[in-house]
Amino acid sequence: MDLLSDAVAAMRTGTPHSNRSENHAPWQQSFAAQEGAGFHVVLQGSCRLIPSAGDPIRLLPGDVAFLPRERGHTIGDSPHPDRRDTIAEKTVMLCGAYLLDQSRAHPLLAELPDVIHIPARVGHRTPLRGAIDLLGHELGTDHDSGAIAPLLEVLLLYMLRAWYDDHPADTRWSAALYDPAIHAALAAVHRDPGAPWTVKSLAAQAGLSRSVFAQRFTATLGVAPQSYLTWWRMTLAARMLRDTDALLRVVAEKSGYTSEYAFAKAFKREFGLAPGRFRAAAPTEISRIRPSA
257-268, pLDDT tens digit by residue? 999 999 999 999
Q: Are residues 162 and 209 in the same domain?
A: no
List strands edge to edge, sheet with 47-51: 28-31, 73-77, 47-51, 57-59
User: Which one of 166, 183, 204 terminates a domain?
Assistant: 166
Look at residue 292 and tell me if it is in a domain. no
Last residue of a domain, one of 137, 166, 195: 166
- Across the range 214-219, mean pLDDT stands at 96
The answer on 55 and 146 residing in a single domain is: yes
Over residues 4-24, the pLDDT tens digits come to: 899 888 888 888 999 999 999
Kindly state whether residues 121 and 204 are assigned to the same domain: no
Is residue 293 pLDDT above 50, yes or no?
no
Residue 285 has pLDDT above 70, yes or no: no
What total number of domains does the chain contain?
Answer: 2
Residue 204's domain is classified under what CATH number? 1.10.10.60
Answer yes or no: do 43 and 188 share one domain. no
Report the share of the chain in percent with pLDDT over 90. Answer: 64
Q: Is the pLDDT of residue 68 over 90?
A: yes
pLDDT at residue number 73: 95
For 12-56, write each residue's pLDDT tens digit. 888 899 999 999 989 999 999 988 899 999 999 999 999 998 899
- Residue 293, in any domain of the structure: no
Mean pLDDT lowest for which of 82-91, 137-146, 185-194? 82-91
pTM of the entire structure? 0.84
**Does residue 124 sit in the same domain as residue 263?**
no
Whether residue 146 is found in the same domain as residue 101: yes
Both 86 and 222 in one domain: the answer is no
Q: Assess whether 162 and 179 both reside in one domain.
A: no
Residue 122: band (very low, low, confident or very high) from pLDDT cuts 50, 70, 90: low
Q: Which domain holds residue 218?
A: 175-287
Among 147, 166, 185, identify where a domain stops: 166
